[in-house]
Amino acid sequence: MKVITRIAPDVGWLPVSFVNVYFLGQPGGPWVLLDAGLPGRAHQISEAAEARFGAGARPEAIILSHGHFDHAGSAQALAEKWDVPIYAHRLELPYLTGESAYPPPDPTIGGAIAFLSRFMPSKPYDFGDRIRELQPGNLPGLADWEWRPTPGHSPGHISLFRPSDRVLLAGDAFATMDMDSWSGLVTGKRVLARGGAPFNCDWDATRASVMQLAELEPNVVGCGHGIPLSEGELPARLRRFAARFHAPRSGRYVEAPARTDEHGVVSVPPAPFDPVPFATAASLLLVGIALGSGILDEEHQR
Ligand SMILES: [Zn+2]
Ligand SMILES: [Zn+2]
Q: Say whether pLDDT at 298 is over 70.
A: no
Q: E strands within the chain?
A: 5-8, 11-16, 19-25, 31-34, 61-63, 86-88, 131-133, 146-149, 158-162, 167-171, 175-177, 190-193, 220-223, 229-230, 259-261, 264-267
Q: Say whether pLDDT at 296 is over 50.
A: no
Average pLDDT value for residue range 169-188: 92
What spacing in Å lies between the alpha carbon of 18 and ligand 2's midpoint? Answer: 9
What spacing in Å lies between the alpha carbon of 229 and ligand 1's midpoint? Answer: 19
Using pLDDT thresholds of 50, 70 and 90, give the confidence band for residue 288: low
What spacing in Å lies between the alpha carbon of 225 and ligand 2's midpoint? Answer: 6
Question: 0.85 exceeded by the pTM?
Answer: yes
Using pLDDT thresholds of 50, 70 and 90, give the confidence band for residue 110: confident
Nearest ligand for residue 21 CA = 2
Nearest ligand for residue 200 CA = 1
What spacing in Å lies between the alpha carbon of 39 and ligand 2's midpoint? Answer: 13
**Cβ-Cβ contacts under 8 Å for 39 (sequence gap 6 or more):** 69, 73, 74, 121
What spacing in Å lies between the alpha carbon of 230 and ligand 1's midpoint? Answer: 22
What spacing in Å lies between the alpha carbon of 197 and ligand 2's midpoint? Answer: 10
Using pLDDT thresholds of 50, 70 and 90, give the confidence band for residue 277: low
Nearest Cα to 66, choosing from 199, 203, 184?
199
Distance CA 76, CA 41 (A): 11
Conformation bin of residue 98: beta by default, left when phi > 0, alpha when psi is -120 to 50: left
Q: Say whether pLDDT at 17 is over 70.
A: yes
Nearest Cα to 31, choosing from 9, 3, 16, 15?
9
Using pLDDT thresholds of 50, 70 and 90, give the confidence band for residue 182: confident
What average pLDDT does the structure give for the chain? Answer: 91
pLDDT attached to residue 283:
61
Weakest-pLDDT range from 10-19, 100-109, 230-239, 281-290: 281-290
Q: Say whether pLDDT at 2 is over 90.
A: no
Q: Say whether pLDDT at 294 is over 50.
A: no
What spacing in Å lies between the alpha carbon of 185 and ligand 2's midpoint? Answer: 12
How far does CA 244 lie from the centroid of its chain? 22
What spacing in Å lies between the alpha carbon of 225 and ligand 1's midpoint? Answer: 9
pLDDT attached to residue 188:
86
Nearest Cα to 214, choosing from 234, 191, 189, 194?
234
% of the chain beyond a pLDDT of 90: 75
pLDDT attached to residue 223:
98
What spacing in Å lies between the alpha carbon of 157 and ligand 1's midpoint? Answer: 9
Nearest ligand for residue 66 CA = 1
What spacing in Å lies between the alpha carbon of 169 and ligand 2's midpoint? Answer: 13
The residue type at 226: G
Nearest ligand for residue 151 CA = 1
What spacing in Å lies between the alpha carbon of 294 and ligand 2's midpoint? Answer: 43
Nearest ligand for residue 223 CA = 2
Mark the residues whose beta carbon lies below 5 A from ion ligand 1: 68, 172, 196
Evaluate the CA torsion angle 12, 127, 149, 110 in order and state its sign: positive
What spacing in Å lies between the alpha carbon of 236 and ligand 2's midpoint? Answer: 25
What spacing in Å lies between the alpha carbon of 296 and ligand 2's midpoint? Answer: 40
Q: What is the DSSP letter of 103?
A: P
124-176 pLDDT, tens digit per residue, is: 999 999 999 999 988 998 999 999 999 999 999 999 999 999 999 999 999 99
What spacing in Å lies between the alpha carbon of 162 and ligand 2's midpoint? Answer: 21
pLDDT attached to residue 206:
98
Phi, psi of 132 (to 5 degrees): -130, 155
Phi, psi of 284 (to 5 degrees): -65, -40
Using pLDDT thresholds of 50, 70 and 90, give the confidence band for residue 284: low
Average pLDDT value for residue range 175-182: 92
Nearest ligand for residue 224 CA = 2
48-101 pLDDT, tens digit per residue, is: 999 999 999 999 999 999 999 999 999 999 999 999 999 999 999 999 999 999
Phi, psi of 141 (to 5 degrees): 80, 0
pLDDT attached to residue 115:
86
Using pLDDT thresholds of 50, 70 and 90, give the confidence band for residue 297: very low
